[in-house]
Structure 1
Amino acid sequence: MPNKNNILLLFLLLFTAGLVKAQQPATGKIPTNLKWSERMALSIIKNNPEPWMIEFSKQPVWSYPQGLVLHGFEKIWRQDQKKHQHYFDYIKAYADKLIDEKGNISTYDATNFNIDMMNSGKILFNLYEVTKDEKYRTAIETLRHQLKWQPRTTDGGYWHKLRYPWQLWLDGAYMGSPFLAQYGKTFGDETAFDDVANQLLLMEKHLRDSNTGLLYHGWDESKLQPWADPQTGRSPNFWGRAMGWYAMAIVDVLDFLPQDHPKRKDVISILQRLAPVLQKYQDAKTGLWYQVVDQGNREGNYLEASASSMFVYALAKGANQGYIDKSFRQAAEKGFKGLTEHLVKVQPGGEVNLTQVCAVAGLGAGRDGSYGYYVNEKIRTDDPKGTGPFVLASLELNK
């Protein structure tokens, strides 16, 4: 007869192997019967075995695209923590690669006052809650400290970076505000809520065009930048992803802004003004949005994946939460259908690719904010600034 100890050992080995398999992402063919959120997430992991590789990075770096993607992975993990343990492990691997045992963040320099660096801080709240490891709390406090000293415009708006003085960029709304709002709720910092609401309201004040309802990419209070209108200080065009960052910031901040906060209704009102404008500029044929939102099929313009994914997410979440009319969910569904039918490519192995993502656009040195500038920036496939919001949009539409 077989030795009982050997039978027990074999059972334990088989059980452990099954458990490990359940916790590991698929490394072979990605099943096509999964939801789009997980199909994209598994594709991202397959293409980036180490999470720091996201954003085509050659070496570990603390940056915002990683946090954008991993934020979506955390939402998948929350749906079934045991089944999706590998997503938690993937998130933790990024944090642990960049944060040492004392809580120091590698490659991060607070003196740059770069608001982009806040975004990956969002993944640290859950890591701290689950593990109780103080290094995550220390890193969170480091990032919060930066915002306490962040240079500001005269009316209190955060400069985008120290080297971009007196400038508000719409991008910064998403980079800083949801992190700060979550900090306020997690650690009872009520001053954070006031600051968060003011940042969003100031951006609408300075960047919203009264004729179209669209928002310009940036505002220079000093009016010294080459792209700044000499009267208004605004940049000249409506870049899709900039507006996408702003729309996502609004719906995510509202997760944490207290119900009785005096400016909560004002923040919701921003979304209520923005939603019908987004619907108006949605391409009727595909359901997508253009790189330069108001220019349609003008020569050089194209249907852009990151802005489209961001708008889908914001409209779907806004409708689901009751911030905007439920009918806007239909616009979101139309947009997501457009993404999957026109911009998503599925490989024979089940891997999902997202095409037509603007690689980068900004208003720094040498950039004039012109129409030609935006439509001639590099276009990439599977850029995380598109795949991350695609995951979020899919998750929201699955609710």
Structure 2
Amino acid sequence: MRAPTYMATLAAALFGVPATATEDACKTRYSKWMASSIISREQGIMTGEGGASEALQAGFVQKAFTALSTYYPKSAATYEQYVRKSALSATQFLSNASNDALSYPMDRLSNGNAALALSPTKGTSPYRITAEALRQSITLNRRNAENGLWYFVYPYWSYLDGMYSLGPFYTLYTLTTPSNSSSATAAALADMVYQFEILWDHTRNVSTGLLTHGYDALRDAVWADPKTGASPYVWGRSLGWYTMALLDTIEILDKEEAPSKYKTPLLEKFQALIPAVIKNVDPNTGGWWQIVDQGEREGNYIESSATAMFSYSLLKGVRLGYLPSKLAPTATKLGTQAQKLLTDTFVVKEADGTLGYNGTVAVCSLNSTATFEYYVGQPILYNSVLGSAAYLLASLEVERLG
């Protein structure tokens, strides 16, 4: 089947509109349109050939589609089916705890939420096996002398990036697995909060309120600050991962009625971080820079995945009541403007009816010089699902506004 015919059929199924759907028919449902485009590209399906970030791509798609199915119940079956397909593909690669801890960054844990949702609390389903392996991989994950988790194989280095996957899964597993004793539950939740805190303590710049990409506990890396071990630059997407991690973890703690002592420190960080994010929005475009606090420094640019992540965080933070009421109007305005910027500037309406997505930087690693030139010199990818899934989530929050 040729792509235009396939996409016309898919558009009719997802949007409930004729195959010749116009832009006007879909303009308030860009989340669904982008979801259908991700499906058509078969993104978020692990094949073993997508490199170390493949697990994150799968987990991010699962999370985005799960949110979409909740808000659009009439289309939920389509999204839930794709979540199952993605989660099942992940079970082929993420079912051995020791291998998981060595072969994939902490981002692997983003697959855990769907694995939990798709499996009973006990048994031998592939989803449950994966959920248990992922949880065990946290225990096996290497740590530095301060008990901070290594992000990957780079010795003693911790990244903001991993918290998006660790925080929500660690919390959800701990609060929904009956076999945990009260002491084990308390220890796991305390450890989860601690991982947020140690990154905050090492990477936060008190003058800007922003967090840099990560830190080296040994202070040996070429980029490490001699006192804190922090890397020197605020990479937009890593800060976006951390911001979303705070927000989504707080939401789970609320839903599962966890003791407030676990929510409070995360909420305080979210409420302290968001004003700094707002302060660093580009006033001319309404987006956020690749290096967030470097403004119009030559070579810097507005990056589409980070902009989508901040749009989502601002809007969802207001919706869930996690931001002070006096900040809500500004947060809503900026979040909405950012999603519009993305739609107008980075979304590409393809001839076959799909939406393309541009302006997303490739993976940036601290296994580098971590200089300004390194960050702004990394390739820009077309249709990176790390950008398009973030855009889906931001668009969904705009659609929730009505």
* Deviation at residue 95 of structure 1 after TM alignment: 2.6
* Deviation at residue 83 of structure 1 after TM alignment: 3.0
- 88, 102, 118: which one pairs with 1:96? 88
Which residue identity is paired with 2:313?
A
Q: 1:256 maps to what in 2?
A: 252
Q: 1:146 maps to what in 2?
A: 137
TM-score, length-scaled by structure 2: 0.85
Which residue identity is paired with 1:279?
I
2:45 match: secondary structure: helix
Q: 1:218 maps to what in 2?
A: 214
2:75 match: secondary structure: coil
- 345, 350, 356: which one pairs with 2:348? 345
Q: 1:52 to 1:113 in 2, by over 3 A?
A: closer
Structure 2 residue 165 is matched with structure 1 residue 165: no
Which residue identity is paired with 2:45?
W
Q: 1:132 to 1:319 in 2, by over 3 A?
A: farther
Q: Deviations over 1:203-249 (max 9, x none)?
A: 11111001111111011110011111223211111110010000000
Q: 2:276 maps to what in 1?
A: 277
- 16, 31, 35: which one pairs with 1:41? 35
Which residue identity is paired with 1:240?
G
Q: 1:156 to 1:360 in 2, by over 3 A?
A: same
Q: 2:217, 2:164 → 1: CA distance?
A: 20
Q: 1:28 to 1:186 in 2, by over 3 A?
A: farther
1:353 match: secondary structure: strand
Structure 2 residue 356 is matched with structure 1 residue 360: no
Which residue identity is paired with 2:316?
K
Which residue identity is paired with 2:397?
E
Q: Deviations over 1:283-309 (max 9, x none)?
A: 112110000011112111110000001
Bigger CA drift: 306-315 or 179-188?
Answer: 179-188
Q: 1:129 to 1:346 in 2, by over 3 A?
A: farther
* Deviation at residue 114 of structure 1 after TM alignment: 2.9
Larger Rg: 1
Q: 1:267 maps to what in 2?
A: 266
Which residue identity is paired with 1:70?
Q
* Deviation at residue 59 of structure 1 after TM alignment: 9.5
Q: 1:234 maps to what in 2?
A: 230
Q: 2:60, 2:17 → 1: CA distance?
A: 22
Q: 2:365, 2:51 → 1: CA distance?
A: 23
TM-score, length-scaled by structure 1: 0.85
Q: 1:266, 1:239 → 2: CA distance?
A: 23
Q: 1:87 to 1:169 in 2, by over 3 A?
A: same
1:254 match: secondary structure: helix
Q: 1:383 maps to what in 2?
A: 384
Q: 1:14 maps to what in 2?
A: none
Q: 2:156, 2:40 → 1: CA distance?
A: 41
* Deviation at residue 274 of structure 1 after TM alignment: 0.8
Structure 2 residue 332 is matched with structure 1 residue 329: yes
Q: 1:62 to 1:340 in 2, by over 3 A?
A: closer
Q: Tell me how many residue pairs correspond in the alignment.
A: 374
Q: 1:78, 1:312 → 2: CA distance?
A: 20
Q: 2:4 maps to what in 1?
A: none
Q: 1:192 maps to what in 2?
A: 188
Q: 2:307, 2:53 → 1: CA distance?
A: 27
Which residue identity is paired with 1:313?
Y
Contact 1:31 1:350 in 2 (8 A): no
Cα RMSD for the two superposed structures: 3.1
* Deviation at residue 47 of structure 1 after TM alignment: 2.0
Q: Runs of 5+ in structure 2 lacking a partner?
A: 1-8
